[in-house]
Chains A and B, each alone.
Chain A
Amino acid sequence: MSEIVPPEVRPKPAVPAKPQGSSGGGSTLLGYVGIDTIIEQMRKKTMKTGFDFNVMVVGQSGLGKSTLVNTLFKSQVSRRSSGWSRDEKIPRTVEIKSVSHVIEEGGVKMKLTVIDTPGFGDQINNENCWEPISKYINEQYEKFLKEEVNIARKKRIPDTRVHCCLYFISPTGHSLRQLDIEFMKHLGRAVNIIPVIAKADTLTPEEKTEFKQRVRKELEVCGAEFYPQKEFDEDMEDKSDNDKIRETMPFAVVGSDKEYQVNGKRVLGRKTAWGIVEVENPNHCEFSLLRDFLIRSHLQDLKEVTHNIHYETYRAKRLNDNGGLHPISSSSDTQESNL
Chain B
Amino acid sequence: MTTAARYKSRVFKSEDSEDKQYVGFATLPNQVHRKSVKKGFDFTLMVAGESGLGKSTLVNSLFLTDLYKDRKLLNAEERINQTVEITKHTVDIEEKGVKLKLTIVDTPGFGDAVNNNECWKPITDYIDQQFEQYFRDESGLNRKNILDNRVHCCLYFIPPFGHGLRPVDVEFMKALHEKVNIIPLVAKADCLTPNEIKKLKDRVRDEIERFGIKVYQFPECDSDEDEEFKQMDKELKECTPFAVIGSNTVVEARGQRVRGRLYPWGIVEVENQSHCDFVKLRNMLIRSHMHDLKDVTCDVHYENYRAHCIQEMTSKLAQDNRIDSPIPILPLPTPDAETERLIKMKDEELKRMQEMLEKMQQQMHEKDTC
Name A's B-contacting residues (CB within 8 A).
60-64, 86-87, 90, 122-127, 170-182, 198-199, 201-202, 204-205, 214, 217-218, 221-222, 270-278, 281, 283-284
Contact = CB atoms under 8 A, between A and B. Distances in A.
Contacts of A198: 161
Contact of B263 (A90, A178, A275): A275
Given A182-B114, A199-B161, 9 more contacts: A126-B116, A171-B52, A175-B76, A177-B76, A178-B112, A217-B75, A218-B77, A221-B75, A274-B267
Interface in B117-139: 117, 119
B162 A172 contact: no
Interface residues of B, number: 44
B79 to A, nearest CB: 6
Of all A-B residue pairs in the complex, the 10 with the closest CB atoms, nearest first, are A172-B52, A275-B266, A274-B266, A202-B191, A62-B162, A275-B265, A174-B52, A62-B161, A125-B115, A176-B76
Contact of A177 (B112, B166, B167, B266): B112
B275 interface: yes
Contact residues of A: prevailing secondary structure: loop
A176 B114 CA distance: 12
Contacts, number: 119
B130 to A, nearest CB: 25
B80 A284 contact: no
A127 B76 contact: no
Nearest to B111: A124
Contacts of A170: 52, 159, 161
Contacts of B263: 201, 204-205, 274-275, 277
Contacts of A274: 190, 263, 265-269, 275
B279 interface: no
B21 interface: no
A178 B109 CA distance: 11
Nearest to A282: B264
Contact of B76 (A181, A271, A284): A181
A174 B79 CA distance: 12
B301 interface: no
B198 interface: no
Nearest to A183: B114
Interface centre among A64, A86, A198, A270 (most CB of B within 10 A): A270
Nearest to B263: A204
Contacts of B274: 273
10 contacts: A64-B161, A90-B167, A124-B115, A126-B115, A205-B263, A217-B75, A273-B274, A274-B275, A275-B267, A277-B265
Contact of B262 (A178, A201, A204, A222): A204
Contacts of A221: 75, 77
Contacts of B168: 124
A124 B162 contact: no
Contacts of B288: none
B163 interface: yes
